[in-house]
Structure 1
Amino acid sequence: MPDRTTHSIAHFAAPFVLGGLEGQLPAGDYDIDHDEELIEGMSRLAWRRVATFIHLPARAVKNPPTSQLVAIDYLELETALKRDRENAA
């Protein structure tokens, strides 16, 4: 089955927490990758998200000594982004 990875950037105005990650993450812009697979048998192209990853640290950190690609729950990410937008308003 063909796969693809799409990329987005998540902006957080305040520190935030995601399950599976230790402690708070600082505010900033984070690269997000979504792995998707093609749903076969559809009359048109349709993709199903099978994994979501966040790149750590945030984009603003120049030449970090180490970087990580961490699997996260997409719904938790969306909830954290919504909460961040609501608190910024």
Structure 2
Amino acid sequence: MTIRSRREAVTFRHPFRIRGIERLLPAGTYDVVTDEEAIEGLSFPAYRRVATMITVPSENVRGSMEMVSIGSIDLANAQAADASAVND
């Protein structure tokens, strides 16, 4: 089983919530890591998403970060809500 990871920076312009994280997160840029595994037996390379994680400020230790598993649809919903939020 081959697994690949993809990292991207996602920016939120407003404080936001995302399912799976029980607190309001501040606006800013967050690292998102997506793990995908190869689908074996095909005549072309194909991958399926197996995990999506976001790095967020730690709730307990000031200045540290934690990586939290989230759903890719929940991330997309949070991004859509941020994009449609009224600018201050």
**TM-score scaled by length of structure 2:** 0.86
> What secondary structure does 2:76 align onto?
helix
- 2:36 is aligned with 1:36: yes
Unaligned segments of structure 2, at least 5 residues: none
> What secondary structure does 1:24 align onto?
strand
Unaligned segments of structure 1, at least 5 residues: 58-63
Counting strand residues as a fraction of each chain, which structure ranks higher? Answer: 2
Distance 1:65 1:85 in 2: 27
> What secondary structure does 1:68 align onto?
strand
Distance 2:79 2:86 in 1: 11
- 2:35 is aligned with 1:10: no
**TM-score scaled by length of structure 1:** 0.85
> What secondary structure does 1:22 align onto?
strand
How many residues get paired? Answer: 83
Distance 2:51 2:21 in 1: 16
